[in-house]
Amino acid sequence: MKIFKNKLAVIVILLSVSFLGLIGYSVQKDNMSMVENGVGSAINSVQGVVYKIGSKIKSSFSLVLNIGNIKSENDELKSQNEKLKFNAIQNDILRKENDRLRGMLNFADANGQYNYIGVDILGLVGNNFLDGYVINKGEKDGIEKGMIALEGEGLVGQVTSVGSNWSIVQSICNENMAVAGYVLSTEESNGIVKGYKGNEDKFLTEITGLSLDSKIKEGDTILTSGRGGIYPKGIKIGEVLEIYEDRAKVVKSAIVKPAVDFNKVEQLVIIVPKEKRDVKN
């Protein structure tokens, strides 16, 4: 195969030299002979093939040389895309944090009779939030049993145990918790909100004790009523998902979806009354 390639190269060279000679000779002649014309055509054809092969080799060689640049540009584009994704995630986190803080500030502005302590959640007491959150502040930080925990403008629950530098906050979704509820649309304040576990293991709350004549409807907002003096008035508990009647007890009840997503809670605010009060154990 190598010998064949060498012979082909020699033939091309000889034909090219011959063609150049013929060109020089023909320039001095007015007319080109048939043989000269035929030889010239043959050599032109061979040169055309050689030129095309050379052009393809040159293009391929240029592509090889540019592969490094293409890879570099591709890596740069990937890097920029990752940065954009990261920035989008950070912006979403900041937006949610801003909404949470704005809600807390709105509540604080409207309730100047309280102080507020920010806390971090260290973990869960049991397998899920129904058993309570462990927070990183306690008695030495001014936290006491019975104080209320918020996330943004939403009600999380109540402090049920206090240590020197830790506390436990019980979620309102726990069936042992209860808070006086207020239906915003109907201005009813005789309902009691307790934890409710649905058939699909969705942790919800339930407002009970409403009159059968109550005009409560789906989508209504449920707030704390302030009755009892433990929970401040006007904290958002959640929105009504479903309404049902208990004819035997002559009351109307409703399933309420909490305003707080308990699976995503990381930080809380503890409400500290400026005036001390006794809380029964």
Question: What pLDDT, in 10s, does the model give residues 54-73?
Answer: 555 555 556 555 666 777 77
Determine the Cα angle at 159 with ends 155 and 164, to 5°.
Answer: 140
The dihedrals phi and psi of 227, each to the nearest 5 degrees, come to: -65, 140
Q: Choose among 244, 239, 175: nearest CA to 203.
A: 175
Note the pLDDT tens digit of each residue in 165-192.
999 999 999 888 999 999 999 999 899 9
Note the pLDDT tens digit of each residue in 109-145.
666 778 899 999 999 987 777 778 999 999 999 999 9
16, burial (CB in 10 Å: exposed 0-12, middle 13-18, buried 19+):
middle
pLDDT, residue 270, reads: 94
Mean pLDDT of 254-279: 84
pLDDT, residue 201, reads: 60
pLDDT band at 53; cut points 50, 70, 90? low
Answer yes or no: is pLDDT of 206 > 70. yes
pTM of the predicted protein model: 0.62
pLDDT, residue 184, reads: 94
63, burial (CB in 10 Å: exposed 0-12, middle 13-18, buried 19+):
exposed
Note the pLDDT tens digit of each residue in 229-259.
889 899 999 999 999 987 777 889 999 999 9
| Total number of residues shown for the chain | 281
Number of DSSP helices (H) and strands (E) in the chain, helices first? 2, 12
The dihedrals phi and psi of 225, each to the nearest 5 degrees, come to: -90, -20
Long-range contacts of 126-130 (CB under 8 A, 24+ apart): 128/203, 129/171, 129/173, 129/203, 129/262, 129/263, 129/265, 130/171, 130/173, 130/174, 130/195, 130/203
SS3 173: coil
Domain ranges of the chain: 1-27+34-110, 115-281
Answer yes or no: are the C-beta atoms of 134 and 125 closer than 8 Å: yes
Answer yes or no: is pLDDT of 227 > 50. yes
What type of residue is 31? N
Answer yes or no: is pLDDT of 43 > 50. no
Q: Report the CATH number of the 115-281 domain.
A: 2.40.10.350
Answer yes or no: is pLDDT of 50 > 90. no
